[in-house]
Structure 1
Amino acid sequence: MWLLRLPGVYRPQADTRLLLSALRDAGLGRSARALDLCTGSGVAAIAAARGGARQVTAVDRYLPAVFSARFNARVRGLPVRVLHGGLTAVHGQFDLITANPPYVPSPSVEPAQGAAMAWDAGLDGRRCLDELCERAADLLAPDGTMLIVHSALCGIEATLESLRDKGLKSSVVARATEPFGPVMRSRIEYLEDAGLIEPGERTEELVVIRADRIER
């Protein structure tokens, strides 16, 4: 799929492909209200709209990503509303939520700026993941589904347990092992010193975690 990406906008890659595969497997309902968090170029929002969602909202904190996603949806004639901001910009509930949040551990405690907003996620990589898990139950409509992709380095069990603590049924629905990309390779010393990877480890497992709000 051709996509406009303004400078610094996250390029769809292995984690994106894994998320899109899980989205296809989820079987999006034709009347679904969909939300794509950390949309980047808007690829998952576009996939949801093409899959039949009647209403799609996409959100990103990086302004060039917002402009890119708006263009990519508009040129395809798709009804995708793209907002600038984080979770606080989102209101209402959704039948489907997709998220490819920042999850790369960073040696800096300062908030990320520019293109790094797409990957820098605090010392343990969970700064955005924890916020997302905290809000998940409120954002999901009854019987709604959330799909989150992230690295196993951030703690799979931490995500599963946090979602379950909010009353959501959660499980890993997709996995893939990938070699480190440029950002991870540039942080090998920090990752080893922090005990996040073993000495010599140069691959990471990506996972998609599904959370369902089950109404009884």
Structure 2
Amino acid sequence: MWLLCPPGVYHPQDDTLLLEDALKRERLVDDAYVLDLGTGSGALALAAAERGAAQVTAVDASVSAVCTTWLNARLNGLRVKVVRGDLCSPVSGRRFDLITANPPYVPSPRAGLPTRGRALAWDAGSDGRALLDRICSDAPPLIAPGGVLLLVHSALCCVERTLGRLRHAGLRAAVTERRYIPFGPVLRDRSAWLEAQGLIAAGEEKEELVVIRAERER
């Protein structure tokens, strides 16, 4: 699969690949409806469409990301419905058999979410949970009976909190994938701040990524 990824659109990285591996292990029936939240370049939405999902909806707040996903779908001859909007808002009231999400999750020294610039793709408040908590609240009502949410994020932003919130929403949730990767430029630049916050140990140079799988009972 060929992907166009212009400046300003999140380029598929380790977290994308980890989530894509988890997606490929899910059983997708021919009539499956799939939702990709924060689609970026559309890599995960296209992977679901390539597997034969009946309908794939990709959502992103960024105009650039929406246009990029639309173009990538057409370049690869895949059908993906691309919608601009704020997380789950554009699909409120619908139900999906599979939801994937790779939201911004990096803890930041700056309070709140950025309003512009490249940091929109990764910064998520002082604890990294500004969007994670919203997904844990807003995504469960969209999951059809027997449906699954696959969510990737860093262990820096409290995996147990994510599991607890999803379980509280009535889902069976567990970590199904773990991978350690070297710090990229963003985490290297703020390693002193992360250490001061107690989020990493002195001299730590690797980040743990996790995929959380949350399933609704039939």
> TM-score range with shorter-chain normalisation?
over 0.9
Contact 1:40/1:66, CA 8 A, preserved across alignment: yes
Distance 1:60 1:166 in 2: 24
Q: Aligned with 1:127: secondary structure? A: coil
**Structure 2 match to 1:53:** 53
1:90 aligns with 2:91: yes
Contact 1:59/1:83, CA 8 A, preserved across alignment: yes
Deviations along 1:89-114, one digit per CA (max 9) or x if unpaired, are: 22211110000010000111142123
Shift of 1:212: 0.4
Distance 1:191 1:62 in 2: 28
Shift of 1:118: 1.2
Question: Identity of counterpart residues, as a percentage?
Answer: 56
**Number of residue pairs matched?**
215
Give unpaired runs (5+ residues) of structure 2: none
Contact 1:174/1:207, CA 8 A, preserved across alignment: yes
1:12 aligns with 2:15: no
Distance 1:108 1:72 in 2: 33
Matches within 5 A, 1:1-216: 1-87=1-87, 88-91=89-92, 92-112=94-114, 113-215=116-218
RMSD: 1.0
Distance 1:54 1:114 in 2: 35
What is the TM-score normalised by the length of structure 2? Answer: 0.95
Deviations along 1:4-57, one digit per CA (max 9) or x if unpaired, are: 112111111111110010001112222100000111100000000011110100
What is the TM-score normalised by the length of structure 1? Answer: 0.96
* Stretch moving more, 104-113 or 53-62: 104-113
Contact 1:30/1:51, CA 8 A, preserved across alignment: no
